[in-house]
Structure formats: C-alpha cells, structure tokens
Structure 1
Amino acid sequence: MRIKTQITIAVACILVIMLIIIYSLYAQTSRIVIHDNDQYSEDTIRKFKLSLSQKTDEIGQIMLNLGFDPFVQKYLNQNDPSLSYEMGKELDRKIISLKAGRKGFEDIVLIGKLGTKYSLNGGIEYVRQLEPEIQASKSAYVSGLKKFNYSNNLQNSMVFAQNIYSIDMSAGADGKQIGYIAVIVNVDSMFFDIDNASGEPGVGFYLIDRYGKIFPETHSPDIARSISALSRSPGEERKLTDYVGGVKGAIQIQKLDPIQASVLSFVPEEALLAELSSVRTRSILIVILALIMMALPFAMIVNNILQPIQILVKFINSIKSGSIKDLKLTLKLEGNVEMAVVAEKLNGMLGEIDALTHKLVETTTHLLEAEIEKEKAATAYLRSQINPHFLYNTLESIKGVALEVGAPQVVDMTKALGRLFHYSIKGSGYVTLDQELNAVKSYVFLQLIRFEGRFEVKYDFTEAALRVPVMKMILQPLVENAIFHGLEPKTSKGHLTISGEVAKENGATLVVRIQDDGVGLESERLELIQSKLLEKPSALSRDGQDLPDNDSIGLLNVNNRLRLAYGPGNGISFESETGKGTRITLTMPVETRLSGGNGDV
C-alpha cells in the first residue's frame, strides 16, 4: 500500500482504539454505578422494611394496649349515652396523649358490639366500609391503599384493625368479642417520610398493596401497568433491569409481609448514567479537539514525507521511460534532511551513470565498427580463397587429360570450365539453389572426366528446394572435399549423393546433404574439424591452419559464410566414419537473407 494509505489507516486505527477505550471505560464504569445503585437501593429498602416493621409493631402495640385497657373495655360495653359521652372526653385525653409525637397517625376508631362508637378525627364511616373484613379477620387486619379525607385534604392511607375481646372474668364474658379498634395511618408520612429524607435524587420507591394499587400515584397508565405487572411476579426478592413506562432502569422488588404489600425501587439508567454520559461526551469531544489540533502539524509532517517521495517516484519513472539525456536532470527534494541526502546521493549516482553510459556507448560504437570491418575483411578473404584453389585443381585436371586423351574431351572440359568461371565472377552474392546446382554439375562433369568414371553421382532435390535463394559457391567446395578426400583414395568405385529439401520441423529451413561412401576420417581428425566448425565465425580469417593440412579450408570457409550470414544456428554439420564415408549437412533459412553473404561485402 501507499505510505499515505498506511498513515491514514494508522490514524483511523488510533482513533478507533481511543473510542473503544472510552466506551469500554464507560461500560465498565456504568456497571460499577449500576452495581453501586443496586447496593444502595438494597440498603435503602432494607432500612425501609426495618422502619416499616417498627411502625407496624408500634401500631400493633398501640392497638393491643388499647384493646386490653380496662377503661376502653368499659367504654365499649357502656349502654348509657350520657356516661359514654363523659367517658369519651377521658378517652380523648388518653388517645391524644398516645398519639402525641407519632407521625402518620390520622385517626383511631373504636366500635363496640353494643353500638358504642368513638373517633378522634371522624373516621368512623371510613372504617365502617371495611367492617366485614375486619370482623372476619383472625389476626391483625391491614387494608389496601385508601383515600381518607382529613382536614378537607384527601390523603393516601391504610387501615390497621384488630378485634377486641372482653377480659371481664365475671358472668362468663371473658374472651367474648366486644368490638374492634382501627388505626388510620397516613402512608406518606408514616412510611415514606424517613426514606425520602435520606434518599438520593432520582431514586424512586413505589408501594403496591395487595390489590395492585400504587403509591405514590402515577398519572401514566403505562407506568402503572408496568409496576403492577412486575409486583405480581412470583418471588420474594428480585433484582432486574426492565422497562417501566418505556424507560429502562434498575429495579428491585421485595415483599412487605407486615402490611401485605410490596415495595419496588426503580432508578432510570439515564438518571444513573447522566454524569457518565456527560463525561463520555466530553471525552469524545476532547479526542476530536485533540485530533483537530494535531491535524495541522500532522498534515505538515505527512506532506514533508510524502511529497518528496512522490517527486522521487515521478523522477525515477521519467528516467525509466526516458532517454539517456534524462540522466542529466537534477533532482531537488525538500521537506526533511533524509530526503535531501537521498537527492544528493542520487544526483551523484546519475552523474556517474551518465559518464559511464557515454563511455560505454563510445566503446561499444568503436567495437561494433571494428567488428563490422573485421567481418567484411574476413568474408572478402574467404570468398577470395575459393576461386584460386578451385582454379588450381581444375587446371591440373585439364593438364592430365590433355596428356592422355585427344581434343574432344579437352573442348568439353574447357566449356565446363568456362561456365564455372563465368558463374563465379558474375552476378550478385545470392542465387537460387537451382543455379548453384548447375555450377556444381559443371564441376562434377570435369571431375568425372578426370577420374574416368571411378564414381557415380546422384542428384535428389525437391522443386521447393531448388527455388530457395542461397549464397553463391557454397556447394562446390563441399563437393570438391567429398571427391578429393573421400572418393579419390578409395580403390573401388564410389558413389556421391547430393540432395536437398525444405524441412518443416523447425520452421522453413533448407537442408542440403552431400554424402559419399569414401574412406572417411579418423576420429581425432573428425573431432578437430567438428570443433573448428563450432568456433565463433568472426575469428575465422585464418581457420584451417590448425588442421594437419589445408585441404578442409573450403569446408570451414563455407561454414563461416553461412554463420556470418544467417546466425550461429545455421551452418554445416560434419559426420564421418572410417571406411564407410562422410556426410555433410548444410542448414539455412528459406526466406531470411542477411548482408553477410553478399558478394560485395
């Protein structure tokens, strides 16, 4: 990846990691806050239950004391209205002194079987509504949440009641129900005053009676239904996270057996985590602000790194795709010390490369010119060697025949010799294979006269091969080599086969074979000739001098001409076996023509 991309990814990773750290710390702190809130709510409910237990015990003790008070028993059994009135005044003083200093006691009601009634604050009719349930109760009775009108103010209240039994031992009245006592308490001031005073802001407690009625009252039906549904679920004590009226929060529910109700604490998570949310928001803003403040110096640093690198890459690409002249360009990099050093070193290296390149070009030019001149001289020399050698041998043949035979043969040989001379000195350096073969036939005719039929010649060429252009005078030296070194030393009659075809295996290649069944060559001489045929053609101006004699110079010269003209993949292959003969194979391309074979070279 590009450096810019890597830096961008690194910055993004740092930002993501910082946000992950912030959110992980927020999540962990949230769990701690919620746990601490659960613990606090649990402690608060425990205090609430303890306070409620104390208050209910106190109410029970008051009802028990009044129920067994002889004066109260006497009042409930009183039939005389005037006496009941007088006793009521005394009872007022007793109950007022009993109620003094106790918050939440709204009224104490006494109702006897004989019709006697007493109320401190007018709650008789309020209690009468519950009379069937009170009288049917075998123990202390606790009502649900009720609305009690006290001082023209409706208040949420609960009624604690207990049946009163006679303690009179006379006339068998002991243990007989003589009425009941009821205590009306203000739920708010009795049970929630202490808790509210010590509670944290945002912590909500709800009292749910056995009928599902909720205190404090809520004006949202959704909240009321949610709280009622949660309170009716089984279990004495539960901690959970749930929704109340669509608001998620931490909830604890515990049963209040003394008043046959439940208490539910609910703290919205939003309220719990309000401070943490602000801290999280501030942390994110600080990170963003820090990134913004770092953006300018960071951009400058990145620019000082990337811009020189981009200039360097562009400069290198221009050199790569340009010419030698681009090596003279000077690179200038700014932004940091390291890149300035790179530019200085690169400029120095380019200067050295430019100097070396010019030296190399000059040296290569001189070498190529020298090689061209050398190859021209070598080719001209090789061409010049063929004709004198051939002329010498031919003249020797004519001399021998003239001594032995009459004039007709001399005429034929002279004509054949004339054709050979004319062919060798006229025309361009390239002819068709058919023209080259006609010259060879004239040469073979002369040799057949000389050797008086000691060998036979067979020609086998395809029409396609005869049309292929070849260099002039490449077959005659090889045929001469086959006659003088293969067939002449043989005592019996010999055979010479000259054939040619266009081979298709490796593309369009002309293959010419000259094969004799003469005496062949020894292995040492064969290896020497084959090694000479494989040498570099540009160094062959004196080839043949390392051989035992110079009779194979024509073979090497033809091979050199072919390789100079067509490349090292072409030329002559030489095979021979003592007593069995020799085969020479020439290979050259059908269409490719290079200047190396031209007679003017």
Structure 2
Amino acid sequence: MGVLKKMKIKTQFMIAVACVLGVMLLIIYSLYEQTSRIVIRNNSQITEDLVRKFKLGMSQKVEEVGQMMLNLGFDPFLQQYLTQVNPSLLYEMSKELDRKIISLKAGRQGIEDIVLIGARGTKYSLNGGIEYVRGLEPEILAADGVYVSGLQKFSYSGTLQNALVFAQSIYADGSNGSADKRIGYIAVIANVETMFFDTDTPQSEPGAGFYLIDRYGRAFPETNVPDIARNVKALAGASEDLPASKDSIGGIKGSVQLHSLPDVQASLLSFIPEEALLAELNKVRTQSVFIVLFALLLMALPFAMIINNIVHPIQVLVKFINSIKSGGAIREARNDLKLEGNLEMKVVAEKLNGMLNELNSLTHKLVETTTHLLEAEIEKEKAASAYLRSQINPHFLYNTLESIKGVALELGADRVVEMTKALGKLFHYSIKGPGWVTLDRELNAVQSYVFLQLIRFEDRFEVGYDFTEEALRAPVMKMILQPLVENAVFHGLEPKTTPGRLLITGRVDDGVLLLSVVDDGVGVEEQELAEIRRRLALPSSLGRNGREPAVPAEGLGVLNVHNRLRLAYGEQGGLTFDSEAGQGTRIVLHIPLDTMQPGGDTDV
C-alpha cells in the first residue's frame, strides 16, 4: 500500500493493466483454441457434405441428360426423321416423335424442351425452344462431344426461366451407307432451378446454399449478384476447388468457397453463414463469462487500492478549488494545499498557480476562434453569391431555346445556325473561365444575347451601345449585365405593342463604374416599384432558409444582381431602379473599381 502511493499513476495503471492482460490472454487463448477447432471442424464437415450431395445430384442429372441424348441420337426413327424431306411424311412422323419424346421426358424433372435440328433443315421442338437453340448453333457445331451452354433465359408457359442447354451432334448409323456423317444435332433445355436447385437442395441455415456460376460469370440464383460477382472475381483463375474465405453475401457474414463443376463447365459458390459455423460456441461463451467474472473478483482488491490513491487527492483538490471560488486568497490556498497518493497530484499542487498564466493563451485561442467564425461567414456569403448567380442562366436559356425552335419551324436552317452560334458563345462564356472578366468580354456576351432576341422579336426594338474605353477595361463579375438586359426585353419591351428602344451605356465616374440599362417599354406600376425598391434596401433579399422572397417577376433578376454586387463590394456596390408606368425603366449599376471584397465570385 505504501509503495503504491509513491508510484506514478501511469506505473500503477501499468501494473493493473498487466494483471488484466495476463488474465485476458489466458481467456483469449482458451477461447481461440476451442473456437478454432469447432469452426474448422464444422466448416469442413458442413461444406464437404453439402457440396458432395449437390455435385452427386448434378452429375446424375447431367449423366441422365447425356444418356437421353445418346439414346435419341441412335434411335432409327429419329435418324429417319432428321433425313426426311417429304413434308407429308414429316408431319405424320412428328406425331409419333411427340409420343416418343413425351414418354422419354416423363418423370425427368427440370427438362423443359427437347429440340432437334437436321442438317437438311428439319426442325422439331416439344415446347417451342428452337430459336433459343439456334442462337447457340455455332458453338454447338464446333463442340466435341456434349456441349453445355452458359446460363440462358428461356420463356416457357409465359414465364422467363434460367436454363442450361445441353447439345450433341447426331451422326448417321450407317444403315444407308452414310456412316459417321453428321445429320443434325439434339438439344435439351434444362430448367436450372428445377433440375439442380429443387426443394431437396440442403438449406439448413438462413442464407446457406449454393450459387451456380457459368463460364461467362452469370450467376443463379440472381439474388445478391454484386456479392457473388465480387467473390467470383477474387477467386477467378483457379482450376481446382479453392479454400474457404470469409465474406458477406446479402448482408449475412459467412464462409465462401468456390468449387469446379466440369460436368457443366461451370463453378459452384457455396456459402455457409457464421451462425452455422459458430452454432456450438454458446457453451464456450458461457464458460468465458464465468472466467471473466472470477477474474474480476480477483482484481477487485488491487483496483480498490489504486482507485483510492487517485480519488483521495482529487477530493482534496476539489476542496481547494471551491475555496478559491468562494473568494479566498489564491496564494494562501495554494500554500495550504497538500496532495498525497501519487507523484502527479504533487506536481498539480506545485503548478496550480501557473494555470492563471494560461488565461492569455486562452484569450488568443478565443481570437483565433472568432477569426474562423468570420471566415466561415465569408464562405457562407460566397455560397449565397454562387446561388444567386446560378438562378440567372436557366430562365434565359429556356427562352432562347424556345426562340430557336420557333425560328426553325418557321424558316430554314441558315438562321438556326446563326442563332446556335450566338447561343454557343454565350453559353460557353457563362460556364467557362474565371468569375471576374473585363467589361468588354461581358459586353460581347450581352451583344450575343441581344442578337438572339432581335431575331425572336423580329426587330421590334432597336439597341444602342455607348461605352468609354476606360469602362470597357474595367473588371466586373461575369453575367452581371445580361440579367438586366433580359429584364428590359421581357418585362419592358415585349409587352409593348409599338417598336421600342434599348440603350446600354457604361462610364467611369470618380472611381466608380456606372452601367445603365434604359428601355422605353411598359414600365412598372407604382406599387410594384415600391416593393422592388423596398427589397433593394434590405441587407439581403434571401431568407435564412435560402428561398427566394415573393417579389414581382420584373424584380427577380434585378434583386439577384443587386445581391451579388452587395456580397462582392458591400454597401458601396449595388444598383438603382427607376421606372414609370407607360414610359420605361432605367437601371444603373454602381461598381467601385478600387474595391473587390472576398465575398464576390472568384471562380466558376
């Protein structure tokens, strides 16, 4: 007891952990030995028994199909049928052939159809499977001996089924002097589920069973195909059975093993869930619980001693802190503090006064945290700017494409080519390059847009441009002018019944770029104008949930542009909106040239 008090907490815990580890290693080793024997024994026994039974059943079925094809191939009546060319005799012989094949097929589970294809074009099918077999004819004729296809989809009785096609060439028996001459071939369509995966297939545990993988990688049953494909890919390339590996199929963990099936040129993927493998471990778990409980009882006394050496000094420290909180002198309280039990608590007593000096570092951290919050707010403003900008393009593209469609229906292809070129330039400009461009590039995009609208509205309005050289060199945000021109065309000039005029100007005045869009269209009513100006005066026209406010259609593009300018330049940026019903609308953008706030767009 006295020796432990002089040790560090780390040393005391190391002693405790060493004791716990010693006990736990003994438990783990015991469990490992028992579990390994049980799992290995169960996995090998279950897998071998199930696979042996499955392979035996499959081999019997395949042999039965092969024997049936062999018997039919040497049947004189069938050979006569394949070499017969008289349609009348073929019809009469087909009836007898029906009875013979139905009798042969009776009692053989899983055989859906028997197909005969003669070298002279004679065809016979019990259930209409000729076309399915015809698709495999090159492979059948090239095969030596019995041909087995991959998994095929076969429609029988209105339902689509998975099937394997067994086929074998038929040669003349020599009775007519043509021995060893190929006179056709016979094919048997076998239902995979009925023939190989019937109700007798063992499924002793939930999820246990087999998956048939053909030589093309297709699986049956088709459930859990991604898991099956992953295992087949990982185990591919082996000609012999592979050892079991752990994996999950259909969300169930278990043992996966791949077995070769040379009889059908395929593989068998066996899956045994962990529940089946670990079924006998309940007894071991119970024994483990008792061992752990007994170990805890043995460890209780040393742990109690160690805890006391830790808790008692902490209680003294808490009392000391409460005395400081109540207003006692810090230095006097520190001098009275005596902590015993471990070396670390003595260090705490000596260094307690140094904690006060850490207030400066905490203040510094607070400043850094505040800076991070401000940076996060700036990023939020950037996201809002990108959101506002993203709403401008789709509406314009929709209207322009509608214009192109109308012109294409009314006129020839030449004007469509012109409009497509202009639209391509504008669309390429809107999605490529940096977020900041010179005004002359922005003006080129606007001119492309106006060109398209002049075609659509059949020159119902004229456009004028007046820009100074200094203004054209000024940097602006991309797509800042086009929404205002669009607003003027669709809300000002389009409703006007007489020809109109649109004037777009730009100049630099006292370090501020002034861009104006003026139209003599229908204008805005006083009530709508008041609502637009009220929205422009707000700090932001977007609510906290990011949705657009309910504003007149004439003001939506204007508000988006205004908010982009405010986010980029602060209160110095923005636009003014003046309009009079029946007289027209004037919009002026104010862009400070000596300020570029980090909240604006910086890339696309």
Per the shorter chain, which TM-score range? 0.3 to 0.5
Q: What TM-score comes out, normalization by structure 2 length?
A: 0.44
Larger Rg: 1
